[in-house]
């Protein structure tokens, strides 16, 4: 093929998009539909628990539209990082939804699943080939056993293998955002430079346009570069909106590492073909001397209980830092006195939303706020202890005065009961890369027979 058209209807499976996005993309001759199903942006919970951040009904709605479009056009559909974090359970969850849709719609498509979850025993045998990525430290082997889930982030190679085996639909575990869009054009022999750069630009659908809310984009990749355009006729790609996407989720806006090498765009040019389309040329891909797979792992750190109140009293707000310091001191004293707990038995965070909850001491505006929301987040080894500490703090969250007040103010809890148990909480415990001899060795590819009604 001399060129390949990649249709990305949205930045994430389950986030929704106008159906016309797909109609327009198919009319323009799309050769493949590619969409990301995952993210680590929302923290370690989804990997640690093996659950999705998206709603099943929303994922099904997106998949129904894409499966219909793919089947009618006779082109493949690729979904990466299924179930948010790409765990085996996430792949199975999306595959189950796909099977139900294929049966309901009477579609006959061959569905491949690629599993990316890693076993600690296998990784221990590779310890000498695992290295930390900044700011992580050298890997302690015990960390592997402490993780509830570990995934390897695949490049395009396992996806290509599934496509070459005849898959119409590829449901991949954890994958780089770019690999999902790069797999098909690379399989068709398009050059790596423009292919990887185009894949990076389309990874979030319409985010590289002037109106990210208007649906996805279509990238046409050829030997000399790629052309990108939005699928909503009222939307536009501009040289600035396209080039700016290299700033998104990258350490260096001129290069980005993939398992097989590095995308380099320092010499790329961005030229407006008209008021909606942009032509990009000059991108290149530098193959790595060593193929690497990034490892992501999450583990439980304890349990949390949250309580939230709000302050509108101008007297307290005039000395809100004093009030917060008194709150922190009094919670510690009351918990020790009533529960017998001390340092190391629990910890808590008190955040003042509307004052300095985001920047903390870096907040430049220290003037009295108009109102403040106060979040108490208690962390303990077990849920019972976390909730007990939050309950001890309850009367303080409702009535704590400042030191110069001779009466009890009444603050405003947001919920009743005031304490919300958040269950287990997780942390990312792995941010490492493993050197591999084969880009597909850590992944299990399953290509079943066609699913149909």
Q: The sheet that has 32-38: what strands, in order across it?
A: 269-272, 278-281, 225-230, 217-222, 3-8, 32-38, 77-84, 169-172, 111-115, 444-446
How confident is the model over 51-77, as a mean pLDDT? 97
**DSSP string of 95-107?**
HHHHHHHHHHHT-
Same domain, 194 and 304: no
Same domain, 235 and 359: no
What percent of the chain is predicted at pLDDT more than 90? 91
CA atoms in the 13 A half-sphere facing the CB of 104: 13
Q: Is the pLDDT confidence value at 55 over 60?
A: yes
Residue 453: pLDDT band (50, 70, 90) is very low
- Could you read off the pLDDT of 375-428 as tens digits, one per residue? 999 999 999 999 999 999 999 999 999 999 999 999 999 999 999 999 999 999
Length reported for the chain: 453
How confident is the model over 210-228, as a mean pLDDT? 95
Residue 334: pLDDT band (50, 70, 90) is very high
Q: What pLDDT, on a 0 to 100 scale, did the predictor assign at position 92?
A: 97
Which of 339, 287, 318 has its CA nearest to residue 401?
318
The answer to whether position 143 is within a domain reads no
Residue 250: pLDDT band (50, 70, 90) is confident
How confident is the model over 350-368, as a mean pLDDT? 89
Which of 54, 73, 67, 138 has its CA nearest to residue 98?
67
- The SS3 call for residue 442 is coil
User: Which domain, by its residues, includes 18?
Assistant: 3-116+154-291+436-446
Q: What pLDDT, on a 0 to 100 scale, did the predictor assign at position 447?
A: 86
Q: What pLDDT, on a 0 to 100 scale, did the predictor assign at position 235?
A: 96
The answer to whether position 378 is within a domain reads yes
Same domain, 309 and 354: yes
Lowest mean pLDDT among 185-189, 282-286, 333-337, 446-450: 446-450
What CATH number does the domain containing 395 carry? 3.30.70
Same domain, 259 and 319: no
Q: What pLDDT, on a 0 to 100 scale, did the predictor assign at position 361?
A: 83
Residue 12, both tokens: 């994430």
Residue 307: pLDDT band (50, 70, 90) is very high
Same domain, 211 and 356: no
Same domain, 167 and 266: yes
The answer to whether position 261 is within a domain reads yes
Four-residue CA torsion sign, 142, 297, 171, 451: positive
Residue 451: pLDDT band (50, 70, 90) is low
Identify any residues that bridge with 353 across adjacent strands, giving them in sequence order.
373
> For residue 367, what are the contacts with CB-CB under 8 A and spacing of at least 6?
none
| Mean pLDDT computed over every residue of the chain | 95
Which of 316, 9, 296 has its CA nearest to residue 136?
296
Same domain, 260 and 347: no
The answer to whether position 264 is within a domain reads yes
CB-neighbour burial class of residue 248 (10 A; exposed 0-12, middle 13-18, buried 19+): middle
The answer to whether position 127 is within a domain reads no
Same domain, 321 and 283: no
As for how many domains the chain has, the answer is 2
The answer to whether position 126 is within a domain reads no
Residue 42: pLDDT band (50, 70, 90) is confident
Q: Is the pLDDT confidence value at 287 over 50?
A: yes
Identify any residues that bridge with 80 across adjacent strands, giving them in sequence order.
36
**DSSP string of 208-248?**
GSS-GGG--EEEEEESSEEEEEESSTT----HHHHHHGGGT
- Could you read off the pLDDT of 253-278 as tens digits, one per residue? 999 999 999 999 999 999 999 999 99
Residue 292, both tokens: 């690497």
Q: What pLDDT, on a 0 to 100 scale, did the predictor assign at position 34?
A: 98
Helices marked H in 362-415 = 383-399
Same domain, 282 and 313: no
Residue 317: pLDDT band (50, 70, 90) is very high
Helices marked H in 79-140 = 88-105, 120-124
Contact 139, 130 (CB under 8 A): yes
Q: What pLDDT, on a 0 to 100 scale, did the predictor assign at position 368?
A: 87
The answer to whether position 361 is within a domain reads yes
CA distance 191 to 177: 18
Contact 307, 397 (CB under 8 A): yes
Residue 450: pLDDT band (50, 70, 90) is low
Same domain, 264 and 309: no
- The separation between CA 127 and the C-alpha centre of its own chain, rounded to angstroms, equals 27
How confident is the model over 325-341, as a mean pLDDT? 98
Same domain, 312 and 190: no
- Could you read off the pLDDT of 117-142 as tens digits, one per residue? 999 999 999 999 999 998 899 999 99
Same domain, 99 and 248: yes
Q: Roughly what angle, to the nearest 10 degrees, separates helices 383-399 and 320-339? A: 130
The answer to whether position 140 is within a domain reads no
Q: What pLDDT, on a 0 to 100 scale, did the predictor assign at position 99?
A: 96
Residue 225, both tokens: 């570069």
Residue 174, both tokens: 């954890």
How confident is the model over 229-246, as a mean pLDDT? 96
């Amino acid at each position: 093929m001399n060129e390949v058209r990649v249709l990305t209807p949205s930045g994430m499976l389950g986030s929704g998009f106008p159906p016309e996005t797909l109609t327009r993309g198919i009319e323009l001759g799309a050769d493949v539909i590619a969409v990301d199903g995952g993210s680590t942006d929302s923290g370690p919970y989804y990997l640690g628990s093996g659950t999705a951040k998206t709603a099943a009904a929303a994922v099904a709605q997106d998949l129904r539209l894409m499966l219909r479009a793919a089947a009618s056009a006779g082109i493949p559909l690729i979904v990466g990082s299924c179930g948010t974090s790409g765990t085996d359970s996430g792949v199975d969850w999306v595959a189950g939804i796909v099977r139900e849709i294929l049966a309901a719609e009477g579609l006959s498509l061959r569905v491949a699943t690629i599993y990316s979850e890693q076993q600690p025993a296998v990784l221990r045998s590779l310890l000498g080939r695992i290295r930390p990525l900044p700011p992580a430290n050298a890997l302690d082997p015990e960390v592997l056993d402490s993780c509830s889930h570990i995934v390897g982030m695949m490049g395009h190679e396992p996806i290509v293998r599934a496509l070459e085996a005849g898959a119409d639909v590829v449901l991949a575990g954890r994958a780089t955002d770019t690999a999902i869009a790069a797999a098909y054009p690379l399989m068709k022999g398009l050059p790596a430079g423009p292919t990887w750069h185009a894949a990076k630009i389309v990874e979030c659908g319409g985010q590289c346009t002037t109106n990210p809310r208007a649906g996805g984009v279509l990238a046409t990749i050829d030997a000399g570069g790629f052309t990108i355009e939005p699928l909503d006729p009222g939307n536009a790609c501009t040289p600035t909106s396209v080039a700016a996407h290299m700033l998104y989720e990258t350490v260096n806006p001129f290069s980005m590492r993939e398992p097989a090498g590095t995308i380099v765009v320092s010499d790329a040019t961005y030229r407006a073909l008209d008021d909606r389309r942009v032509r990009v040329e000059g991108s290149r891909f530098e193959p790595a001397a060593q193929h690497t797979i990034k490892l992501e792992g999450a583990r439980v750190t304890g349990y949390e209980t949250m309580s939230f109140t709000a302050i509108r009293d101008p007297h307290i707000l005039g000395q809100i830092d004093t009030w917060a310091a008194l709150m922190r001191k009094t919670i510690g004293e009351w918990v020790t006195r009533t529960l017998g707990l001390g340092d190391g038995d629990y910890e808590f965070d008190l955040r003042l939303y509307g004052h300095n909850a985001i920047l903390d001491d870096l907040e430049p505006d220290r003037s009295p706020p108009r109102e403040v929301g106060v979040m108490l987040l208690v962390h303990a080894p077990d849920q019972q202890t976390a909730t007990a500490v939050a309950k001890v703090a309850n009367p303080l969250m409702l009535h704590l005065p400042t030191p110069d007040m001779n009466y009890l103010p009444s603050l405003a809890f947001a919920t009743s009961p005031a304490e919300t148990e958040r269950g287990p909480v997780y942390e990312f415990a792995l941010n490492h890369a493993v050197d591999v001899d084969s880009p597909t060795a850590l992944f299990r590819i399953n290509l079943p027979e066609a699913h149909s009604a």
